[in-house]
Structure 1
Amino acid sequence: MKQTNNLIKYLLSAVLLVIGFSSCKKDSNGQLEGSKGTPTISSVRTISKSVVDSSKTETYTTIASNGTSSSTTVSNYNPQISAFDSTTTTGKLGNYYAAMGDHLGSATKVMINNVSIPFNRALNSDNSVIFNIPSSIPYVQPQPNTLTIVTLYGTVTYSFTTLPPAPSISAASDYNFTSGTKITLKGTGFSAVTAIKLRASNEAVTIVTKADTQLVVTMPKSTATRSTLLFTYTSGSSTVQTASGQEFVNIDLAYSIFTNGQYQNNWTNNSWANPSGATPTAPSISGQGSFVATYPAGGWQIEGFANYSGGFKYDASYKYLTFWVKGGTVDHTLVLVGDQMAGGDAQVQNANAYAAQLIKVPAKVWTYFKIPLTTSQSSTNVNQLNYWAKGNTATTLRFFLMGQSGDVNETYYFDEVMFVK
């Protein structure tokens, strides 16, 4: 953030040097006072822009206690401020612009689409006003599409369109799908979306209803195991595409333990406490019931699944363990355990578990977990789950809740528990 602020200062300083203050003077209070004429705007220039360049990557290296290191490379989805200088009639949220003209030095108000925006009068000259487009500016059409500057000596209005932001997902009703699944997306920039596809397979996603902050879609039958969404949207006179930062998982091509309200692939209930297990009437993401796990107060219980009819054999092509879980009365941390994991299918206390085993579950809400699996059985990367560390066939997957002073009875709900390629 400090680097961004410094860059903005440098950009503004450079623009002001070019624009100059030659036609301004100071009033008795030391403030800029423009020439006494009707203000005009001849053009608007972009002086900085916020850009997301996903081709840029960042690499994180994790070093285990035994000295073994592993690296993970991720795409950059964080906006970066960069210099830019061009004449434009459109603007984007977050970017800086200079309105160029005459008699602008005494500006008292700047408005976009009739909404006032803050600006720094110290950056004005009689020939320019520097402004930023805040996120509060309305952009969903129809709009006046105007930039208005009010000075001590008049008002000028200029044709200027605020473009919609790229579609961005902040939350989804589900990150898993089968053919025909309806998913509600929350976020911004959806009003300009004209089409959606699964990026991995180019299969069309159907738009059911659309508003700027909510989009309801129907997912297709797909050949992709998992995929981001590829949005096509209009931005001014251009048609643009952008991918979601979130992946969506095809249940039909996953290895399921519990989906559609039922045990899958010979898995069944293997919990210590009762009542636990598949419950058709329990709250769920799928709408078909969930796996209920009950934890008596202070009980140090292990709840979850077992498959003693062949188990789940090691397959390096599986990349993630995913599931939804709804928390209990207070926040808790569960520990993932299994017969072939380090520590075994046992009461592994929080302090003895590694990072990928620790499942921090907020109270009373559904939370989606997508846990990366290790690339080999010998891996010691603590941020990846080594599900087959001790052997090739795993027969249990369970969740341990360590008892604490003052505990109360807790009930958790699990849904769409899967291993994903």
Structure 2
Amino acid sequence: MKLSKIYYWILPALVVFSIVSCKKQDSLGYTPGTGVPTINSVKTINKYVLDTVVQTTTTYNSSGVVSMTTDTNFNHKSVTAFDSTTATGNLGNMYMIVGANLGSATKLTINGVTVYYNRSLGNDNSIIFTLPTNIPYVQPQSNTLEVTTLHGKVTYAFTTLPPPPTILQVSDFDFWANSQITLVGKGFASVSGIKLNTTSDDVTIVSQNDSTLVLQMPAASTVTESPLLFTYTSGENTGAQTLSTAIFNDLDNAYNIYFKDSFQNSWGDNSWSGPSGSQPGNPHAFGGTSSIQASYPAGAWQVEGWANWYPSFPYDAAYKYLTFWVKGGKADHTLVLVGDKMAGGYGQVQNANAYAGQLVKVPAGVWTFVKIPLTAPSTAYSKESTLLNYWANGTPAQQLGFFLQGMSGDVNETMYFDEVAFIK
């Protein structure tokens, strides 16, 4: 009697469990198959051609005020046709696995790395996923896609392609004959050749792995500035090419104020206190031994800089940028760039009175690359102007320096400058 009562209770429970189980499957909009999973193909849902390092290009009006900012994409983003069968994948693109008995999938891996997918986007005959950026692509790899379901496992040949060579950090934006530059980023293992895009001069690969590329620049070039043109292998395409958005300056073809451990073109120290001028130690340049030291006493209103009393530096419309590296001191500061022919002259131009092109942010303790666009002497400007009117009050110019506005609580500061040049 007791046994029959137990059975009477268990039977309805099993029926309810069965109904709930069916509802869980039906909630997906389909009932997963119970057979061994199979994969017939992988298809592209969308495919983007990605730029290398993102760079912002600023457009200025005639007064030097920013009027528009755009992203420069040398390889413009584009989308391929839907439903294109492929055996290769690009990081960040979306794909669809096509097959059978895929609805009960519990795991998807590519080259041994687990890939997230949303079951509600697929069905028993498809799985949709985005190829993550952490999938290994440097060969050799297993080059397989693997799906595990409740009823088995299936593998499929699928190769993750390397991304275009992507620069995330550089040791220098300046170069000269046979100097070396180190690039940090990704996709460098697939690089087979590099040129200066402007002149097609060959750049030598000294060493490379996927995240680091050491280059030796040409022994001679006529270029003033140029992006790098990378040739790399992407699947069966051994001649894929992409441009860097990073621009590199050839200081051999620039007007240099400080270069190769010394002042150039008759420039010299013109600071208000010392130690100052070219000093041993703290070089930024490749192979360098010296840099310009600038001392700012605590609380002082100080200008540190350089002069060329003769033959001086006349205006030349060919010059497009002033560039330099600066290493900060103990605290973050904003310097005001001053000159004898600039608005305010070579003196104490307070931050509040400076225009945008004069203000230079200097983070503490690190080297920072500064590139300031130049404008013609006759160009009207305002406090919002981001172009540097270096010859605003006449030509030739004789002085260039940096004013640090003293404030309560300041400490003695020492900063360093290197590779100071005007670029055509």
**TM-score of the two chains, using structure 2 as the length reference:** 0.88
1:393 corresponds to which residue?
Answer: 396
**Is 1:246 the counterpart of 2:243 in the alignment?**
no
Deviations 1:94-149 (CA, angstroms, capped at 9, x unpaired): 00000111111111111110100111111121111000111111100000001111
Q: Give the Cα separation in 2 of the matches to 1:210 and 1:158.
A: 31
**Is 1:228 the counterpart of 2:231 in the alignment?**
no
Distance 1:88 1:173, change over 3 A: same
Pairwise CA distance, 1:353:
1.2
2:289 corresponds to which residue?
Answer: 288
Q: Return the letter of the residue paired with 1:177.
A: F
Q: Give the Cα separation in 1 of the matches to 2:328 and 2:141.
A: 43
Q: Give the Cα separation in 1 of the matches to 2:57 and 2:289.
A: 40
**Contact kept in structure 1, 2:355 and 2:385, CA below 8 Å:** yes
Q: Give the Cα separation in 1 of the matches to 2:65 and 2:92.
A: 42
CA RMSD of aligned residues (A): 2.3
**Contact kept in structure 1, 2:100 and 2:124, CA below 8 Å:** yes
Q: Give the Cα separation in 1 of the matches to 2:348 and 2:34.
A: 80
Q: Give the Cα separation in 2 of the matches to 1:33 and 1:393.
A: 82
Q: How does 1:303-314 map to 2 (within 5 A)?
A: 303-314=304-315
2:420 corresponds to which residue?
Answer: 417
Q: Return the letter of the residue paired with 2:24.
A: D
Distance 1:34 1:288, change over 3 A: same
**Contact kept in structure 1, 2:42 and 2:98, CA below 8 Å:** yes
Q: Where in structure 2 are there 5+ consecutive unaligned residues?
A: 1-21
In structure 2, the residue corresponding to 1:171 is in which secondary structure?
strand
Q: How does 1:44-193 map to 2 (within 5 A)?
A: 44-52=42-50, 75-76=72-73, 80=77, 82=79, 84-85=81-82, 86-193=84-191
Aligned residue-pair number: 394
In structure 2, the residue corresponding to 1:27 is in which secondary structure?
helix
Q: Return the letter of the residue paired with 1:387.
A: Y
1:403 corresponds to which residue?
Answer: 406
Q: Return the letter of the residue paired with 2:367.
A: W
Pairwise CA distance, 1:76:
3.1
Q: Give the Cα separation in 2 of the matches to 1:296 and 1:68.
A: 34
**Contact kept in structure 2, 1:52 and 1:77, CA below 8 Å:** no
Q: Give the Cα separation in 1 of the matches to 2:337 and 2:308.
A: 16
In structure 2, the residue corresponding to 1:108 is in which secondary structure?
strand
**Is 1:383 the counterpart of 2:386 in the alignment?**
yes
Pairwise CA distance, 1:391:
0.5
Q: Where in structure 1 are there 5+ consecutive unaligned residues?
A: 1-24
1:365 corresponds to which residue?
Answer: 366
Q: Give the Cα separation in 2 of the matches to 1:58 and 1:266.
A: 35
1:274 corresponds to which residue?
Answer: 274
2:24 corresponds to which residue?
Answer: 27
2:212 corresponds to which residue?
Answer: 214
1:9 corresponds to which residue?
Answer: none
Q: Give the Cα separation in 1 of the matches to 2:387 and 2:39.
A: 57
Q: Return the letter of the residue paired with 1:362.
A: P
Of 196-205 and 166-175, more deviation after overlay is shown by: 166-175
Q: Give the Cα separation in 2 of the matches to 1:115 and 1:189.
A: 18
**Contact kept in structure 1, 2:64 and 2:385, CA below 8 Å:** no
Of 379-388 and 326-335, more deviation after overlay is shown by: 379-388
Distance 1:320 1:268, change over 3 A: same
Q: Give the Cα separation in 2 of the matches to 1:350 and 1:33.
A: 69
Of 78-87 and 117-126, more deviation after overlay is shown by: 78-87
2:19 corresponds to which residue?
Answer: none
Deviations 1:205-249 (CA, angstroms, capped at 9, x unpaired): 000101000001100021111111100000000020101111111
Pairwise CA distance, 1:67:
11
Deviations 1:238-294 (CA, angstroms, capped at 9, x unpaired): 020101111111111100000111000010000011111101233433422100001
**Is 1:324 the counterpart of 2:322 in the alignment?**
no
In structure 2, the residue corresponding to 1:191 is in which secondary structure?
helix
Q: Give the Cα separation in 2 of the matches to 1:92 and 1:28.
A: 33
Q: Give the Cα separation in 1 of the matches to 2:136 and 2:222.
A: 39
Identity fraction in percent: 55
Q: Return the letter of the residue paired with 1:45.
A: K
**TM-score of the two chains, using structure 1 as the length reference:** 0.88
Q: Give the Cα separation in 1 of the matches to 2:234 and 2:356.
A: 42
Report 1 or 2 for greater relative contact order, CA contacts < 8 Å, sequence distance ≥ 6. Answer: 2
Pairwise CA distance, 1:74:
6.1
Q: Return the letter of the residue paired with 1:212.
A: D
**Contact kept in structure 2, 1:316 and 1:376, CA below 8 Å:** no
Q: Give the Cα separation in 2 of the matches to 1:71 and 1:148.
A: 47
Q: Return the letter of the residue paired with 2:221.
A: S
Q: Give the Cα separation in 1 of the matches to 2:47 and 2:200.
A: 31
Deviations 1:179-213 (CA, angstroms, capped at 9, x unpaired): 11011111111000000001011010000101000
1:8 corresponds to which residue?
Answer: none
Q: Return the letter of the residue paired with 2:32.
A: G
